[in-house]
Amino acid sequence: MDKLAAWIGKDLVGYLSFDAASGLFAFDYAASWKALPGAYPISPFLPFVRASEDAIHARSVRAFFENLLPEGNALDAAATANGLARGNLFGLMRALGRESAGALALLPEGETPDSTPALLREIGWDELSQRIRERDLRPFTVWDGKVRLSIAGLQDKIAVYWQDERLYLVEGAGIASTHILKPIPQRASLSTLVANEYFCMKLAEAIGLSVADVRLMRVPEPVLLVSRFDRQLTSSGVSRRHIIDACQALDLPPAYKYERNFGSGKDVRHIRDGASYSKLFGLGSLSVQPAVFTMAMLRWSVFQYLIGNSDAHGKNVSFHVSRDGIRLAPAYDLVSVVVYQDFENELAMGIGDTFTFNDALGFQWAGFARQCGINKTLLAREMIRMASVAKKAVSSLPDDIFTSEELLFISKVRAFVFSQCERLVQVAAQLRKVSDDLI
């Protein structure tokens, strides 16, 4: 049986194992970890004491660790760079698990987190620009023959250490990446995506949401530098903080990040077993402060509607984990998707029983409130408040950081958000009139 040791800092948490004969995974906690005063299970579905059969436990283990891996082309590049099959989860975790999202580091047995020296390899601006332009020739995630990303998602990005206005690739003891760097996409129609995300993140911050800090830079290609909320600078280096995304919190594999996990075809559109708003709000029972959690989730949900982010799915929301429970992490990956004309804008998670923004009116939001266990009067009041604040903020955010092309696009985002603010006030009025007997 193959094993990898899971560490958080210098503490051994447990062992991830894989039995090739049965195809089953397992995760067993170290007695030393469970004895620590602040110890906690790494996932609600991987408790200290197994409460499920081996096959069910194995499925939960696989889902948890599979959610740590990149997706799409980034996963293909990682597999190729390490000479592995795409479906070899254990092999990929061995290759990529030293620095994944959150605090866990997966190492071969016998190796400890401080057994290798800290290494910093600077990325110059010219080199970064060249690598952005050469993505047709070599994957952006592979540098110096090593995969520099073990974070979920489809978009090109690498994990970097940012210090004194300089970028580094890092590995070894006492050091970890502090930021995620996201370049402009290769697809020409998405040339404004970096500006789009920057604007939406700053808008969310301006209206009071907790968001990851972002910075728009040009090398000269636009790149977004996103501060990692699962990292913390300390006097002794970089401390890693444990987080889980919604798929991990809900015991779902990454393929279930969309509510309609089999798609929207005529014969399968009724199947809604993936991540959903109602399931996300249900996680409040695991929260340190359930009322605070619910309000934060409500504002996150309404904000997706305000900006037209149809791709707000189960891997675009995360939670800090501690012995006391979970807390909603800062928002990330906030993008106005509907402004792009060549995209399908079906909602990743339905509002009530609708999967389109146009149909999300008072009745559907009333269904949303009921499904999520929210008082609809509270929801209506918060909609009106957020619309009022967003109206002012969307016009007051500075423009001088954008190019003329980006500014033209941002004007479309502004116009959409402004129209959504007006619509939200109307929806709130409709919502208050919906009889509970009708939903």
pLDDT in tens, 175-191: 888 999 999 998 888 89
pLDDT for 167 equals 94
pLDDT for 374 equals 95
Cα of first residue to Cα of last residue in the chain, in angstroms, is: 52
Our measurement of the distance from residue 91's CA atom to the centroid of its chain's CA atoms, rounded to an integer in Å, reads 23
What is the residue whose two structure tokens read 């049986």? 1
How many CB atoms sit inside 10 A of residue 324's CB?
12
Among the listed residues 156, 230, 245, 311, the single catalytic one is 311
Using CA atoms, how far apart are residues 144 and 422, in angstroms rounded to an integer? 51
pLDDT in tens, 216-261: 999 999 999 999 999 888 777 788 899 999 999 999 999 999 999 9
List Cβ neighbours of 163 (8 Å cut-off, separation of 6 or more): 178
Residue 266: pLDDT band with limits 50, 70, 90: confident
Say what the pTM is.
0.93
| Best CATH choice for the domain 248-438 from the list 1.10.1070, 3.30.70, 1.10.1610, 3.30.310 | 1.10.1070
Q: Which helix or strand (DSSP H or E) is residue 234 part of?
A: strand 231-234
Q: Residue 20 is encoded by which pair of tokens? A: 């090739």
Contacts 24+ apart (CB under 8 A), 258-263: 258/313, 258/314, 258/348, 258/349, 259/347, 259/348, 259/349, 259/350, 259/355, 260/350, 260/355
359 has catalytic annotation? no
Q: Are 204 and 334 in contact (CB under 8 A)?
A: yes
Name which of 170, 194, 181, 100 is nearest 406 in CA terms: 194
User: Is the confidence at residue 378, as pLDDT, over 80?
Assistant: yes
User: DSSP assignment, residue 68?
Assistant: T
Residues 106-123, buried b or exposed e (16+ Cβ, 10 A)? bbeeeeebeeeeeeeeeb
Q: Are 226 and 182 in contact (CB under 8 A)?
A: yes
Please give the backbone phi and psi of residue 326, each rounded to the nearest 5 degrees, phi first: -115, 155
What is the residue whose two structure tokens read 């075809």? 265
Domains of the chain, residue spans? 2-108, 119-234, 248-438
Please give the backbone phi and psi of residue 254, each rounded to the nearest 5 degrees, phi first: -60, -25
* CATH class assigned to 119-234: alpha beta
